Amino acid sequence: MKDDLEAPSQEHLLKGQSRVRFRSPEESLAVAKEGVHRWWWEFLRLSKDYWLVCQTSKESRVETQDKNLARVYRAFGNVYDCTFDDWWIDRGSWVFREQDPFPKVKEVARNPRERASHKYSADHVWIDIPLKLSRRTIQRQIGRILDLHEEQRLNNRLEMSSSMFKLNPVQYRVHTLRKMYEVHALHRELIDKLSTRVMTEEKVALVKRADLFRIGKLLRVSPSNESLGGDVDKIFEKQNRMRASVSRLRKRSELLIANVEQGVFPSFKPVTPTENKRFNARQLEMHKELEAQWWSLDLTSSLSAGKIDDARRVHYEEEQRGRQFDIVDKKERVVKYS
């Protein structure tokens, strides 16, 4: 961890996990490495702008005019020169730990002098409980009082977080985040990198169509469109639906990346550009020399190892409207691993 960051104590609290209290970063790593915190880190690594900041910044000078992106860099550091495990033990548990202890229900002192020194918060309520009542009666009456303050109670426990980087309290599933991540990572490796090759526009278009289908087939994006049987129009429509489904997921992943650059995750809200450009002319000039290096990187998560090769092995046969069939030999076309 950088010297300007206060070294955290070993014990820490984390929101968004199956448990919240951990004795050490090594202990919380066991649940963080496959949870939403892991995918926060993985999506941040997919950000080209964040990578450029990591390559050009020095310890005391962050090379961006975007205050939010600079804040993320100061906390997360270079996420490209380490594994998630190393990063979590060095920084991650500090980045995501709760800064304040969780609030507790407690007894207020009976002595008037001691009670006068007790701080009364606007989001707290004091209750006078006659101890002679039964537990059931007390609980029922307390419940009625709480109902009167329902609008002040939080619907999601993540809203109570005091972490520097809070998990966005939205409904999400790790499986969904992973699928969107893999769509983006495979798209980058199989399609986006076509721009670095010498190919005709027609060849690029063909490869793109094929690989969009391969990605969708491998990741089970649209199972109903995997089996290609029937007439030409039906096959053509299934291929297009699969490609459209993959493209929609990729657009969702781009929103996740845009928000993670601002220190928010997971979020699919469009990010409004700031008035000032993210990089100035001097910084943009430095970036030109790094373009080839960016495209040489394989940013695929270790959790998705082998997916690129698996996608390339998916059989794809180009199907277009107007193609002539041998009516007698019309067989069901099934996309499968070769």
**Pairwise CA distance, residues 85 & 82, whole Å:** 8
**Pairwise CA distance, residues 3 & 302, whole Å:** 29
My answer on whether omega of the bond before 101 falls inside 30° of 0, hence cis, is: no
pLDDT for residue 18: 65
**Pairwise CA distance, residues 142 & 314, whole Å:** 61
Contact assessment for residue 216 and residue 222, using Cβ atoms and an 8 Å cutoff: yes
Sequential pLDDT tens for the chain (338 residues): 544 455 556 777 776 666 677 778 899 999 899 899 999 999 999 999 999 999 999 978 999 999 999 999 999 999 999 999 999 999 999 999 886 666 677 777 777 776 667 676 767 777 888 888 888 888 888 878 777 767 665 555 555 667 789 888 776 789 999 999 999 999 999 999 987 887 888 888 888 989 999 999 999 999 999 887 778 888 889 999 999 999 999 999 999 999 999 999 999 999 987 767 899 999 999 999 999 999 999 999 999 989 989 988 887 777 655 444 443 344 444 444 33
pLDDT for residue 15: 67
Q: Could you list the beta-strand ranges (E) of the chain.
A: 12-13, 21-22, 227-228, 333-334
Pick the closest to residue 286 from 84, 61, 1 (CA basis). 61
Q: What is the DSSP letter of 12?
A: E
**Pairwise CA distance, residues 19 & 12, whole Å:** 11
The secondary structure of 222-268 as a DSSP string is -GGGTEE-SSHHHHHHHHHHHHHHHHHHHHHHHHHHHHHTTT-BS--
**What dihedral do alpha carbons 242, 243, 247, 248 form, nearest 10°?**
-30
Contact assessment for residue 4 and residue 94, using Cβ atoms and an 8 Å cutoff: no
Q: In terms of C-beta density within 10 A (0-12 exposed, 13-18 middle, 19 or more buried), how is residue 90 classed? A: middle
